[in-house]
Amino acid sequence: MREILILLKPRFLSFKNRAISGNLKGRKIRFLLFATIGLAFWGGTFSIFYRVLTYFHRLEEFGDILAYKLLSMAIITFFSILIFSGILTTLSKLYLSRDLSLVHSMPVSREKIFLSRWIESTIDSSWMVLIYSLPFFLPYGIVYNAGPFYYAMLGVNLLSFCLIASSLSALMVMVVAIFLPAGRIRTVFIFLGLFLFLLLLISFRLMRPERFVRPESFMTFMVYLKNLETSHSPFLPTTWFFDSLRAAFSGTVGNVLFDSALSWSCAIAIIFIATWVSGAVYFKGLSKAQTVPRRFFSSLGFKKRGYEFFLKFLSKPARAFVVKEAKTFLRDQTQWSQVFLIVALIVIYLYNFSVLPLEKGPMKMEYLQNLISFLNMGLAAFVLSAVSARFVFPAVSIEGDAFWIVKSSPVSIRTFLWIKFFVYFVPLLLLSELLIVVTNILLHVTPFMMTISIVTIFLMVPGIISMGIGLGAIYPDFQSENPAQSVTSLGGLLYMTLCIGFIASVIVLEAGPVYHVFMTGIRGASLKGFQWLWLVGSFSVVLILCLMAVGIPMRLGEQKVSRYELGHYEISEKVHKSESIW
Amino acid sequence: MIELKNLTKRFGEMVAVNRLNLSVSGGEIFGFIGPNGAGKTTTLRMMGGIIAPSEGSVMIDGINMADHPENAKKRIGFIPDRPFLYEKLTGMEFLKFTADLYDIEDVLFYERSEKILRQFSLYHWADELIQSYSHGMKQRLILSAAILHDPKVIVVDEPMVGLDPAGIRLVKDLFRSLATKGTTVFMSTHTLAVAEDVCNRICIIHKGSLIATGTIEELRLKAQVQEGDLEEVFLILTEGESVP
């Protein structure tokens, strides 16, 4: 046990030192900001779930069935998330961490190294799921008037639940690592997770849950649910957790203790098995992880390239960066696999418009169609901002440790940033215009609205991309192992806030004049003098705003990156960082 | 070819490089040595245009780095101490990327890249991703990329780190041959034997300030040592101090 605690110490000390060193003020602001957002999300989820359960509780006959069904679904979902998160974290802790060579060179047994890593992994993969599972479980206690026993058993069972998920993940990873290098396992699991998520997302949307709002469908749904009231397999940890909570509502102590005992004995048994397995196979897998996996598709040879023809119009340095960006993106599975997710979201986005029940709306159909089309500009721009936050904002940080190449190359930082801009501008403009045009076609909008939408999006996209590149350059993180995560930083948050402000300003500025033009068109009248003035004024301000959104962030980003100094040794870097970033 | 005038770099209160004045001629191999934390890497990074000096200037082939950074950088082949590269590119793709940045004609690129890759024993690895390269191979790839555009100046930080004996011999021969053709090599190193072996002149920097410059004989005189190698001279001149 002493060795395990010693192995865990660096993690604890790093955490402690991080809390007391560096820029405390900046960290406090960031902590407060994220804590507020987290708390708001937690509170929001709690209040929604509380209201839903209160509503269910009032429904006679079906209420409890629905509540229990929901509880069972929530437990299965949390378990799946815990397993998935556990796999990725364990994989990283056991096979991919940078400090593994150091740890394995120490006179400590493999089982103890495994246990220390597994404890870290369990904490890392479970703490957030635990916190965000509470707004689901706590309202049950309140709505069903459960006593302190429920909350105590909830805590006890949640712990064993996390331990089971984490030890199962570790077992799976260790067994698979015997056959596949760790780098490849991560790819496989990421794909599997993404595929399952997409499948769930699409199937849920195709179920058209909005139909259940209609009373006639709702009754059919109730009957269906009643038929589903069957018991789950008694061998699953999710069943024990569910049964123990259900028994705790009614205060059936015997049943609760029995299910809790099952859960804990299972957790202890799997931890024991995993530790035993680690002694036998962990080192073998680790040795395999040191080798680089073979590429799925090996190179055709450098001279057989066709893309150069399409990039002839670019200057050589620009072409060099475009090719580098494209290749890096296409060869990084964590990057390009997310394109599937975006495609699925677009399909669902468009599908939503195709099934909009406009004919049942209280307003005139033509008016409603065009109103939705107008608001859709904001929605499409927001979707673009979210996509940009994931891909464009980290575009500068993604250079990582290799940023010295850019700095030492005979290409100015301005050129470098503009190349980055155009690399993302072209595909994202096409994506946004595609969304707008197809949704407008589905809505059968007037040619005027179609033109306004296309032009507005054309004006907004450069601003959104430029803010992404610019703010990404103002808040770069070249040290991050996963630059995509930089979107969760202060800079990322600022980027999203600015995007929302920018989109809202454009929509608000255009709303008045567009309404007048549209209504006069419907009435067959023509615009009056002040309306023309308003129209020209508003659109001029929109144009200026869009130009500012392009120019200012790029300029500020250029200044910041030009001053950014790489590579000086630790002490000076700390001093400089604290001066320059905050 | 290289002129450093009052070159100074401060990080907050700390002075990393203090009023450094140096002049290096064309075709010279110039060694830049000093204890850990002396300011070698910071100086080299200022020369490469990677960081800006707090004061003073860097002139490369008569071009001021601060005023015309792109033109000055075109004349430099920069080799950092740690081989961080674009891991998802192949070796050949990285060379092509570099060639395009320096605007090298395609025909010339294919001719040169093949020759250089063979020279550095990387030809058979040219189509493999850089992520599968060893540390030494990455170092050799950076060296290949740095000489691809036939620079007038090579600025190299710790060139021998990670290289095997054959690689070290190769680099030494390469620097000598480049210098014969008029290329200036500005090299920072801890491997004093290499500095002694290949450098025409050596500069010792300590705590950010230049403490001695000259040929080995001149440095011996300054250290008041009749015989003995560069290591002894170095230790005397830096008073055996070393920053951890």
User: Which token pair is A535?
Assistant: 């129209």
Q: Is the pLDDT of residue A356 over 80?
A: no
CATH number at residue B45: 3.40.50.300
- Is B201 part of any domain? yes
Nearest to A79 by CA among A42, A123, A129: A129
* pLDDT per position as a tens digit, A6-31: 888 887 877 777 766 666 777 777 77
Give the integer Cα–Cα distance in Å for A294 and A299: 11
- For A106, phi and psi rounded to 5 degrees? -90, 155
Number of domains in chain B: 1
**Minimal-distance CA residue of chain B relative to A316:** B100
- Is B103 part of any domain? no
CA B123, chain centre distance (Å) = 24
Q: Which of B17, B88, B142, B144 to probe by mutation at the A interface, max A CB count within 10 Å?
A: B88
Q: Tell me, what amino acid is at A102?
A: L
Give the start-to-end residue ranges of the domains of chain A. Answer: 2-289, 315-580
- For strand B14-24 and strand B184-188, is the pairing parallel, antiparallel, or unpaired? unpaired
Of B73, B74, B86, the CB nearest to A402: B86
Residue B188 burial (CB count, 10 A)? 26
* pLDDT per position as a tens digit, A309-323: 677 777 888 888 888
Q: Is the pLDDT of residue A56 over 70?
A: yes
Hey, are the CB atoms on B101 and A410 less than 8 Å from each other? yes
CA A8, chain centre distance (Å) = 29
CB B244 within 8 A of CB A571: no
Q: Is the pLDDT of residue A87 over 60?
A: yes
* pLDDT per position as a tens digit, A121-168: 999 888 888 888 899 899 988 888 888 888 998 999 999 999 999 999
Q: Is the pLDDT of residue B18 over 70?
A: yes
Return the pLDDT at A580.
34
Query: Does the ipTM surpass 0.90?
Result: no
Q: Which residue has tokens 């020279």?
A: B119
- Is B38 part of any domain? yes
Q: Is the pLDDT of residue A582 over 50?
A: no
Q: Rounded mean pLDDT of chain A?
A: 80
A206: confidence class by pLDDT, cuts 50, 70, 90: low
A577: confidence class by pLDDT, cuts 50, 70, 90: very low
CA atoms within 13 A on the CB side of A120: 24
* pLDDT per position as a tens digit, B20-79: 899 998 889 999 888 888 888 889 988 988 888 888 999 998 899 888 888 888 899 988
Q: How far apart are the first and last CA of chain A?
A: 42
Over residues B67-92, mean pLDDT: 86
Over residues A496-501, mean pLDDT: 90
- Is B120 part of any domain? no
- Is B197 part of any domain? yes
On whether any CB of chain B is under 8 Å from the CB of A332, the answer is: yes
CB A67 within 8 A of CB A246: no
Over residues A457-478, mean pLDDT: 91
For residue B212, the SS3 value is: strand
Q: Which of B10, B60, B73, B84 to probe by mutation at the A interface, max A CB count within 10 Å?
A: B84
Q: Which of A299, A405, A415, A579 to probe by mutation at the B interface, max B CB count within 10 Å?
A: A405
**Minimal-distance CA residue of chain A relative to B43:** A568
- Is B13 part of any domain? yes
| B61/chain A closest Cα distance in angstroms | 15
Q: Is the pLDDT of residue A418 over 60?
A: yes
A576: confidence class by pLDDT, cuts 50, 70, 90: very low
Give the integer Cα–Cα distance in Å for A406 and A404: 5
Give the integer Cα–Cα distance in Å for A14 and B40: 30
A229: confidence class by pLDDT, cuts 50, 70, 90: low
Q: Which helix (H) or strand (E) holds A399?
A: none
Cross-strand partners of B22: B4
- As separate numbers, helices (DSSP H) first and strands (DSSP E) second, chain A gives 21, 0
Reported pTM: 0.69
Cross-strand partners of B186: B30, B155
Give the integer Cα–Cα distance in Å for A474 and A560: 5
Cross-strand partners of B77: B154
Give the integer Cα–Cα distance in Å for A348 and A511: 27
CB B9 within 8 A of CB B38: no
- Is B94 part of any domain? no
- Is B98 part of any domain? no
On whether any CB of chain B is under 8 Å from the CB of A224, the answer is: no
* pLDDT per position as a tens digit, B96-148: 888 888 888 888 888 889 899 998 888 888 888 888 888 888 988 999 999 99
Nearest to B24 by CA among B142, B169, B188: B188
b (16+ CB within 10 A) / e for A455-480: ebbebbbbbbbbbbbbbbbbbbbbee
Host domain of residue B158: 1-75+153-163+184-244
Q: Lowest mean pLDDT of A163-172, A303-312, A357-366, A567-576, name the range.
A: A567-576
